[in-house]
Amino acid sequence: MAADKVSHDTLEDVQTEKEGVVLDTLDAGGHHGRSVHERQVLSKKQTISAYFTIAAAAFGLISDGYQNSVMTMANVVFKDLYPTAYTSDVSTRVSNSLLVGAIIGQIIVGIICDRIGRKFALIGTTLFIVVGAILGTAAHGANGSVQGLFWFLTFARGITGIGVGGEYPASSTSASEAANEKMIANRGPVFIMVTNFVLSFGGPLAVSIFLIVLSAAGEDHLPTVWRVCFGIGIILPLTVFYFRLKMLSSVLYKKGAIKHRVPYRLVIKRYWHALIGTCGAWFLYDFVTFPNGVFSGTIISSVIHDNSIRRTAEWQLLLGTLALPGVFVGAFLCNRFGRRNTMMLGFSGYLIFGLIIGCAYDRITNIIPLFVIFYGFMQSFGNMGPGDMLGLVSAESYATAVRGTCYGLSAAVGKTGAAIGTQAFTPIQNNLGKKWTFIIAAICGVTGIIITYFFVPDMTGVDLADEDRKFMAYLAENGWEGDVGEDLASEASSIDDAELEKQQPIQ
């Protein structure tokens, strides 16, 4: 199928085909080169690919959640192993390296998603995570240098971060488009369960694995513990690598991709309002949630006072588990209450619980279970609101042609907030006191409600193909002319003769 020129005559071609897509290719003479049966085989592959794309996004993002959380207990271990060398500056640098890599990955991979394709981007992010995890597991300093070890880890975590960051636009855009094809009425809940749920589940998973490894190796072998935990991060992304090699592009991308001469000026003119909403809200969310996640282990360790790594991990596991119910509540509310309203409700949890913990910090930390429960509720509200909704609204607010780019930009601004929050976290604690980390969370909650109300569009129940049609009409009205749609010849050729022969009906 040749790419279409944008015109009013071709705008109707930009639509979702609910029961699969019939893909024709042309032979050298310009005639349709595939039989009806061959087209049926390709349509069947497209249908299967949509479900595998959704599943692969879930399993891929589990590795992201794991990589985001593996440093939580690693920070506690490093502080125990190297109490003088692992200063707050070193801890922040190692933790922030993942974020810096993620920002790079989100922007670059977001563009690659749109300009080259979702599949290429997904394969690339998997490889970056695997390579970074291998380097992190094998990290050593020259001549046994401890500072060399931490610089090596900084580099390795940065490489991992490029893959982790790239997963956000690559997996999320693919999952949203596939869900739009097969389950449009439940696109929101399905998207949440294969994105934010698995990302959030990565926290308890990382701590659970840490506890298992710690029990097996013992507290006298902490270097083995942290290396094994890092090494398990190599396995998780490899579980989906084969399926990503076999996946096909979504119908929306095949019809709506713009790979050359992308009119970015017109894109900004149309979507500046939504970009302020998704970028601003994501910045505030990550500014609060990421440092509170990465350093929650050290916060709990300081509260329990007995320096037990195991006990710290057990309380950390409870904290991570308490944050999970919010994901399910957000998935339940996103259609019934609307994306924007659910997001504002989640930000209000930062306001309520941030103020409660912050204002009563000295008293509430004397009751460890109550402190952990309230801390968990604050994180659960974050998951229910911006945690669930930000990826969803960022995937729904933009046309397919620029979805990866705009999603990646929004997520990158969010990770910038995470990096700033992580950098500022220790100085805030040291200069203002630990309670101010929670009071600032409450301030971010109020700001998040305001930005969400005025700038975040609500696409609840809207077919993504509708925005594609409006976007193409907008480009045509503004005089833009270019090629729209993906060249499907290479996609069609992926069906080999053996597969066609295997599925030929018996004569």
The whole-number pLDDT of residue 500 equals 35
pLDDT digit string (tens) for 17-71? 433 333 344 443 344 444 554 445 445 666 677 777 887 787 778 888 888 888 8
DSSP-derived letter for residue 397 is S
Q: What is the mean pLDDT of residues 127-153?
A: 92
- Long-range CB contacts for residues 492-495, cutoff 8 Å, separation at least 24: 492/23, 492/25, 492/34, 492/42, 493/25, 494/248, 495/38, 495/41, 495/42, 495/45
Which 3 state secondary structure label does DSSP give 248?
A: coil
Q: What is the torsion angle, in degrees rounded to the nearest 10, for the CA atoms of residue 136, residue 211, residue 232 and residue 97?
A: -30
φ, ψ (nearest 5 deg) of residue 195: -120, -80
Give residue 300's pLDDT.
66
Q: If you average pLDDT over residues 76-93, what whole number do you get? A: 88
Q: CA-to-CA distance for 51 and 179, rounded, in angstroms?
A: 8
- Region 467-481: what's the mean pLDDT? 93
Q: What average pLDDT does the structure give for the chain?
A: 82
Residues paired with 306 in a beta bridge: none
Residue 1: pLDDT band by 50, 70, 90 thresholds?
very low
For residue 360, the 8-state DSSP code is T
Q: How far apart are CA 134 and CA 401, in angstroms?
A: 35
Q: The tokens of 235 are what?
A: 């396995």
Q: Between these two residues, 486 and 324, which has the higher pLDDT value?
A: 324
pLDDT at 11: 44
Residue 157 contacts residue 98 (beta carbons within 8 Å)? yes
| Positive or negative: CA dihedral 74, 75, 80, 81 | positive
pLDDT, average across residues 71-86: 87
Q: What is the pLDDT at residue 225?
A: 92
Separation of alpha carbons 388 and 371, rounded Å: 24
Round to whole Å and give the CA distance between 111 and 395. 14
Q: What pLDDT, on the 0 to 100 scale, is given for residue 361?
A: 85
Structural domain spans, the chain: 34-248+258-485
Half-sphere exposure of 379 (CA within 13 A, CB side): 25
Mean per-residue pLDDT, 451-470? 91
pLDDT at 293: 64
CATH number for 34-248+258-485 (one of 3.40.50.10260, 1.25.40.10, 3.40.50.12780, 1.20.1250.20): it is 1.20.1250.20
Q: What is the pLDDT of residue 422?
A: 79
Written as one string, the DSSP assignment of 416-454 is HHHHHHHHHHHHHHHHH-THHHHHHHHHHHHHHHHHHHH
Contact 357, 435 (CB under 8 A): yes
- Band of residue 4 on the pLDDT scale cut at 50, 70, 90: low
Burial of 33 (0-12, 13-18, 19+ CB in 10 A): middle
Contact 126, 241 (CB under 8 A): yes
Percent of the chain having pLDDT more than 70?
83
User: Cα separation of 385 and 248, whole Å?
Assistant: 32
> Worst-scoring range by mean pLDDT, 248-262, 339-353, 379-393, 438-452?
248-262
pLDDT for the residue numbered 294? 56
DSSP type of residue 481:
-
pLDDT tens digits for 400-435? 999 999 999 999 999 899 888 878 877 887 788 878
Q: How far apart are CA 200 and CA 140, in angstroms?
A: 30
Instruction: Identify the pLDDT of residue 247.
Output: 80
The answer to whether the CB of 206 falls within 8 A of the CB of 72 is yes
240's CB contacts (< 8 A; 6+ apart) are: 56, 59, 60, 126
d(CA 8, CA 14): 11
- Interatomic CA distance for residues 276 and 274, integer angstroms: 5
Percent of the chain whose predicted confidence (pLDDT) is above 90: 40
Could you tell me the CA-to-CA distances from 395 to 79, 293, 347, 454, 459 in Å, in that order? Answer: 39, 24, 20, 18, 10
Strand pairing report for 483-484 and 4-5: antiparallel
Between the alpha carbon of residue 297 and those of residues 65, 192, 291, 418, the distances in Å are: 16, 26, 11, 17
Mean local confidence (pLDDT), 122-128: 92
Q: DSSP characters for 251-301? A: HHHHHH---SS--HHHHHHHHHHHHHHHHHHHHHHHHHHHHHHHTHHHHHH
252-290: pLDDT as tens digits: 888 888 988 899 999 999 999 999 999 999 999 999 887
d(Cα 30, Cα 37) in Å, to the nearest integer?
19
Cβ–Cβ under 8 Å, residues 324 and 436: no
Question: What is the Cα–Cα distance from 353 to 384, expressed in whole angstroms?
Answer: 14
pLDDT at site 44: 62
Q: How many residues does the chain have?
A: 507
Alpha-carbon gap, residue 481 to 392, rounded angstroms: 30
pLDDT band at 152 (very low <50, low <70, confident <90, very high): very high
pLDDT in tens, 187-244: 989 999 988 888 888 888 888 899 899 999 988 888 999 999 999 989 888 888 887 8
What pLDDT was estimated at residue 7? 46
From 106-120, 132-146, 182-196, 302-316, the region with the lowest mean pLDDT: 302-316
For the chain, the C-alpha Rg in angstroms (whole number) is 24
Amino acid sitting at position 404: G
51 or 477, which is more confident: 477
Q: State which H helix or E strand residue 204 sits in.
A: helix 196-217
CA dist 282 and 289 (Å) reads: 10
- Tell me the average pLDDT across 329-334: 94
User: Does position 90 have pLDDT exceeding 80, yes or no?
Assistant: yes
Phi, psi of 18 (to 5 degrees): -70, -30
Collapse the DSSP code of 350 into the 3-class scheme (helix H, G, I; strand E, B; otherwise coil) and give the result: helix
Max alpha carbon distance in the chain (Å)? 81
Q: Is pLDDT of 488 > 80?
A: no
pLDDT given for residue 71 in this prediction = 84
